[in-house]
Amino acid sequence: MECPSCGVDMVDFKSDDQTLRKCGDCGGLWVDVSDLNRMLLHHNLPGLESIGGKVDTDSLSGQCPDCQVEFVRVSGGDKSNPVSYETCESCGGIFLESDFQDASDFASAEKEIVAFFSTFSTKLKKKVSAG
């Protein structure tokens, strides 16, 4: 699969039942939505549908490398640390453009993805602060 951001072939990181793809050039990560939800739930985070975020309808952020459908950008985080990801409304694939250069295998990539979505959700922070 080609990286949706820079067109370089992405490298597969595999676990027993999941696959992530990483771009060696820009550090972007591609993950299937079902694999992402398993990761999040495994780390005691809510699934993607419950994390929240705001769809940026004005953003043109590229095309899904599988479906050739325009991505939808979803923004989250807090005002001092805004973050976003792209998703394909057809296949549900998720592309994280943030810099994941440190991810060298599945385990390190999973750790960075979980950290990303922990900072993505303002709902999670409110629950932690209230508890």
Could you read off the pLDDT tens digit of each residue along the chain, which spans 131 residues?
A: 999 988 899 999 998 888 899 998 889 999 999 999 999 999 999 888 888 888 887 777 788 888 988 899 998 888 888 888 999 989 999 999 867 778 899 999 999 999 888 888 755 544 444 44
Q: What pLDDT is stored for residue 53 in this prediction?
A: 87
Residue in this structure with the two tokens 């549900």, named with its chain if needed: 92
Which residues on neighbouring strands pair with residue 81, listed in sequence order?
78
- Structure tokens, 84: 């976003």
- What does the pLDDT read at residue 105? 92
Buried b (16+ CB within 10 A) or exposed e, 82-118: ebbbbbbeeebbbbbbbebeebeebeebbebbbebbe
Q: Determine the pLDDT at residue 48.
A: 87
The model carries a pTM of 0.85
